[in-house]
Amino acid sequence: MSKGVNFSRPLVISGPSGVGKSTLLTRLLDEFNKDASQPYFGFSVSHTTRGIRTDSKGKKEVHEQDYFFVDTDTFKDMIAKSQFIEYAEYSGNFYGTSFQTVSKAQVNDKRCLLDIESQGVRQIKRTGLKPIYLFICPPSLSALESRLRARGTGESEDTIQKRLKTAIKEIQYAKKPNAHHFVIVNDDLDRAYQIFRQVALGHRKGERAEGFELAEDRILFDDREKAGLVFEQVEDDAVDETLPPLED
């Protein structure tokens, strides 16, 4: 599979909890990292202070594979030692991306993938990382709430409401000009994945990429117009913020 011109730049993926980021990433790694001797991608495993989850099928998250699960004191010690590229508090827990995990993900010419929320995106834009920014958008707020309730992770009603409030903040940021290079609406997993894989392979808007299987002519790989229907459901945030132009 051919790689686009942006493959050498890290890919920062953001979007509300429950939008399907993990599902898309798992599918991508299953497809392109099957050959362990020549993997396409390296995933930057984040640190978090939240507990290990078990999904509806009884599968538990794995330390150092899904996250580095650490206690709050350890996380704050890493902050004090300036070990994070970015970190944020999200739904009552800390999450962060360390310099070490990003460096490890990029060895042997792999493309580094980072799953980060909007607070972290803001911080990364103040660094010299120069990634490509991708936002995964739900088809609607009601669809997102349904997905959160159907995940089977045993979260309380209070936790779900916190996630929905945080989702609104994520979408408020995504509405801003120059927030992200690409927006994909995950209204159909197979369709969203076809677009996602071409962005992940480093192709720019307008490139007709090898292996693109959608019948529709979607060489722009961008759902910004479709996402506008979701953006309209969310008021602009109160932060007066002008984002610098994105680097192509």
| Selected catalytic residue, list 50, 53, 147, 218 | 53
163 catalytically annotated? yes
What is the distance between the alpha carbons of residues 132 and 222, in angstroms, rounded to a whole number? 13
Task: Verify whether residue 27 is a known catalytic residue.
Answer: no
Annotated active-site residue in 9, 50, 122, 151: 151
Q: Is 53 a catalytic residue?
A: yes
Helices (H), the chain: 21-32, 72-80, 99-105, 118-124, 141-150, 157-175, 189-200, 224-231
Alpha carbons 181 and 135: distance in angstroms, whole number: 8
Point out the catalytic residue in the list 111, 163, 197, 204: 163
Distance CA 78, CA 95 (A): 12
Element (H, E) at 115: strand 111-115
**Three-state DSSP class for 8?**
coil
The three-class DSSP label of residue 43 is strand
Question: Among all chains, which residue has been given the structure tokens 């972290």?
Answer: 120
Cβ–Cβ under 8 Å, residues 21 and 124: no
What are the Cα distances from residue 160, in Å, to 16, 17, 51, 189?
12, 10, 16, 22
How many angstroms separate the CA atoms of 219 and 11, rounded? Answer: 19
- What is the set of active-site residues? 53, 151, 163
